[in-house]
Structure 1
Amino acid sequence: MVVIAGGGFAGLEAAIQIKTLRPACAVVLISPGPNLVYKPWLIYVPAGRRRFAETCLPLAPMAARYGFQLIEDRVDRIDLDAHQVRLAKGQTIDYSQLLLATGANADRSRIPGSDEFAFFPCQPDDAEKFALEIQHRKPQRICVAVGWGRRGPGLEFAGWLARRRKPLGRPDMEVVIVDGDGLLADYYGAEAMAAIRPAIRRAGATLSTERGLDAVTDSGAVVNGKHTAFDLVAIVAPLCGVEVGLPADMVDEAGFVHVDHSFATTRPGVFAFGDAAALPSGVATGKTMMSIRQRVAHLASNLLADMDGAPLKPLEASVPPHQSMSNIGGRAILLSDNRVIGKGRLPIFRRWLYDQAYFRLRT
């Protein structure tokens, strides 16, 4: 039996692919909730452009359609020696192969005060809470701190918040982007920043000249050693792995699971995929939705090969150009290795078509 821990995008796509390749294989998908949250659309929730419910895809119909078993529960502990997964409600499940697709959590302990006073809108629950707080509190100034490996989504949250101030009933609301780890310009480079800065201004947000988020307080944020007043503070990243009781040698310093070039971990029969996996350097794949869909067949084939005692196939070591797109308030900046290869609305329209096609495919 294949057990998949995690009902997010990586876990769902893996379950579907395994059942597609081998319909007779028993697959159990363990999800903490009944829905897959379509995280690319979370940027619209605080801005009031989409309701949180519109980002959710029910998992039960897909389980029935593709023939895998769905269990709504949280993984509490994994007994690697006994090949068992122990769930929060007390159930124990045996596995022959285990896929860790538990995703990533906001690291709420990294920045002092953030757990108590900040929102982490990349987390589904916090995205909805942040939206409700904007409606009820009617803030004048919002800080959106970006950085720590996922700068694009932070710029997107801020851009859409600023763009949607009038529909939110807050036309004078100030949205300030803070370079949380102080590496925004170093990460993107001069050419990309020359496109990002005017896109931020056009959306109506402000990029702070102060860099480095030191702490969050009940009245604002400490940036570069100085306290600045904000009504609300949102932090997009940093991330950490989900705690499921794995040995220390299986995870990196942030809690992500070490895998090799075939997505296998250091333990027999155990694989990791998606945000949960700490990929080796030089692997030609990322953690975006498109990359996951491109690589899920490779993962599923290796997991089934492991079940059969056959050799695993490694991913190629060459690294293709890294492409990314930031949707800053309705205007895209398309980058390839941080060189600008496209701007405007057309890339967003193409992404909208992709999203709609995925929803039609899975509903």
Structure 2
Amino acid sequence: DAGLQIDVVAPRPEFVYLPGMIWIPTGLRSGADLTLSLNSFFARQRVNFHAGRVTGVENGGRTVVTDKGKIENDGLIISSGGRFIKKLPGIEHAITPCEGIPAAEKIRDRLASMEDGGTIAFGFSSNPKEPSAMRGGPMFEFLFGIDRWLRKQGRRDRFELVFFTPAEKPGQRLGEKAVKGILSTMAKRDVKTYLGHKIKGFEADRVITEGAEFRADLIIFMPGMTGNKWFAESGLPLSEGGMLKANRYCQVEEQEKVYVAGDSGSYPGPGWMPKQAHMADLQAEAAAANLVGELNGDQPSATFKAELVCIIDSYDTGMMVYRTDKRNLVTPAFSGFHWAKRLFEWHYLREYRK
């Protein structure tokens, strides 16, 4: 719509391709590879960029409050991501890789310093009040990728790799076939597992669960997610897990011209529906279409498909997982899927590199 003005609020005019962070610890990618300036893209798309951090909304979403001032709007899409729950005692001793490039680089540097080997612990948990608010898939990729990388270097025998999670069946959102494949791969790669026990906390060199505790020289852990801190004071409806409550149109419930896409929202759908970049893209498309419709006087009608698509990468190979309400496909590991994932990255980022 030529009559619309688009304003984007973010700390910096840049895009960080988070799916590629799994390759930073093993040197296949650097932070610079995955960080793209959006200045040229915004200029081409005639987008007005506002540098700042959002601290709240007022007037039912019509006013966005930032640390640099207030911005008025006629329609709002919130896509500010989730926030990791950092309440476990000693969690400062664990690295949460999906927090950003600095975290992935810290893993890289810690691995480089472990010349004599050691124990690396990989784990994740969910938000008990919103089980879908979790990041399990990347943890399998960090685990399998680092395992494969160490084997390529001829150093795997110096390391013990351990995987832990409160879930008895890790990866269950991917489907039963995927769970079997993941656990089978862990067994084949000599990964020790601690499954089904609540995590009590961490020490500098130790993981403590209700069922057992074990030492670790490097702890890589992804806690469950909740909503942004400012959500609580926004007046917008929240799910029990702290996310913005959305309907099937990605409209924040009972709000006019306020939408949400991605990890910030809690959406109706099957229990396996993931917090995943692909789902965020589908939700963003629906949110944008419905907001434009509302601004033109129409009722929201665009919905998003519940669809899980991912390649669980292992440094130079990968396993494809696809799930909808009607299908659940899991392929054997194949080097072609690794290259397909790298090709998708190139294709996805091409528009922003112009």
| CA contact 1:175–1:206 (8 Å) conserved in 2 | yes
Question: 103, 116, 124: which is aligned to 1:126?
Answer: 103
1:274 aligns with 2:270: no
SS at match of 1:157: helix
| Aligned pair partner of 2:121 in 124, 143, 154 | 143
Distance across 2 between alignment mates of 1:185 and 1:361 = 32
Partner of 2:334: 344
Find the residue that maps to 1:145 and give its secondary structure: strand
TM-score normalised by structure 2 residue count = 0.84
Pair 1:354–1:174, CA change in 2 (3 A): same
- The SS at the match of 1:305 is helix
Q: 1:77·1:86 contact (CA, 8 Å) conserved in 2?
A: yes
The answer for unaligned runs of 5 or more in structure 1 is 1-21
Normalised by the length of structure 1, the TM-score is 0.82
Tell me which residue corresponds to 2:139. 154
Q: 2 CA distance for matches of 1:35 and 1:166?
A: 35
Question: How many Å apart are 1:161 and its aligned residue?
Answer: 1.5
SS of aligned partner of 1:251: coil
Equivalence for 2:53: 74
Note if contact 1:78-1:84 (Cα within 8 Å) is conserved in structure 2: yes
- SS of 1:165's partner is helix
Give the Cα separation in 1 of the matches to 2:167 and 2:74: 42
Paired letter, 2:111: I
Q: Deviations over 1:51-98 (max 9, x none)?
A: 12211121222111211012222101211358211112x311111111
Q: Deviations over 1:282-320 (max 9, x none)?
A: 59975433344445433212111222222111427xx76
- When the two chains are superposed, the root-mean-square deviation of aligned CA atoms in Å is 2.9
Name 1:63's counterpart in structure 2: 42
Report if the CA contact (8 A) 1:38-1:56 is conserved. yes
Instruction: Give 1:180-259 correspondences, 5 Å limit.
Output: 180-184=166-170, 191-200=177-186, 204=189, 206-212=191-197, 213-245=199-231, 246-247=233-234, 250-259=237-246
The answer as to whether partners of 2:313 and 2:338 remain within 8 angstroms in 1 is yes
SS at match of 1:306: helix
* Structure 2 counterparts to residues 326-341 of structure 1, below 5 A: 326-337=312-323, 338-341=328-331
| Aligned 8 A contact 2:54 2:66 in 1 | yes
CA distance 1:250–1:184, change in 2 (3 Å) = same
Give 5+ residue unaligned stretches, structure 2.
127-133
Taking the TM superposition and a 5 Å limit, the aligned residue runs for 1:169-184 are: 171=156, 172-184=158-170
Q: What is the one-letter code of the residue matched to 1:117?
A: H
Alignment partners' CA distance in 1, 2:234 and 2:222:
28
Does structure 1 conserve the Cα–Cα contact (< 8 Å) formed by 2:172 and 2:178?
no
Contact 1:200–1:328 under 8 Å retained in 2 = no
